[in-house]
Amino acid sequence: MNSDLKKLYPEIIKAHNDVPFHFEKRIGEGEVIKAYNPICGDRFELYITVDQHKISQLHFHGFGCAISKAATSILTKSLEGKTIEEALSVCNNFLGFINKEVHVDQLILPDDFLAFSGVHDFPERYDCATLAWKEMKKFLESMIAER
């Protein structure tokens, strides 16, 4: 049975859980996106600075399970340096993959995103993988709407 569970925790997820990307509080710089799951108590904050429609800095801090922490870490690594529109496409691509609406061949960042394919066999972990990505998508969409 553990072999199935192993698919949920490939090396990329473990590595990002152990040493997350840009894992530090940056209160006072840019804006704060809250990614909280009140059901399970996962709580992340994403610190984002946008310069001329580009995400110039992205950090995060907080706590959650290995899946949610790794997903937030990969989000941070993937979106820094992207324009708002590019970042939104990446968000939609990741969320679409988790939702089984985007095929493996269409993945923008296949190496990182494929690490989460185990979630397809553990639907109760869907919220863990998508928590920060959904909040980031909402933030980016509201930025586009405000323009």
Partner 1 sequence: MLEFCYEMALPIESIKSQFPIFSHRPELVYLDSAATSQKPQSVCKAISDFYERDNANIHRGLYELSAKATQQYEEVRRKVCSLIGAADPMSIAFTKGTTESINIVAQGFLKKNLQKGDTVLISAMEHHANLIPWQQICAQREASLQIIPVNDKGELSLEKFEDFLDHRTKMVAIAHISNVLGTINPIEDIISMAHKRNIPILIDAAQSVGHYPVDMKKLDADFLVFSGHKMFGPLGTGVLYCKGEFARQVDPYNYGGGSIRNVEFAHTEFLDYPYNLEAGTPNIAGIIGLGTAIDFIQQLDLIVTADYARDLCILFKERLRLLSNIKLVGDPKNFGSIVSFYVENIHAHDVAGFLANENIAVRAGHHCAQPLLDSMRIPATVRASFSIYNTSDDVDKAIAALGALNKFWYE
State which residue, 3 or 52, has the beta carbon closest to partner 1.
3
Contact criterion met (CB below 8 Å) for 59 and 111: no
Where do contacts with partner 1 occur on this chain (CB under 8 A)?
A: 1-2, 4-6, 8-9, 39-43, 63-69, 122, 124-125, 128
CB of 140 to partner 1, least distance (A): 27
Q: How many CB atoms lie within 10 A of CB 39?
A: 7
Dihedral sign from CA coordinates of 26, 32, 38, 40: negative
State which residue, 133 or 139, has the beta carbon closest to partner 1.
133
Dihedral sign from CA coordinates of 65, 68, 71, 76: negative
CB of 68 to partner 1, least distance (A): 8
- Give CA–CA dist 91/114, Å, rounded: 14
CB of 72 to partner 1, least distance (A): 13
CB of 145 to partner 1, least distance (A): 32
State which residue, 11 or 105, has the beta carbon closest to partner 1.
11
Q: What is the DSSP string of 109-129?
A: SHHHHHTTGGGGG-GGGHHHH
State which residue, 4 or 29, has the beta carbon closest to partner 1.
4
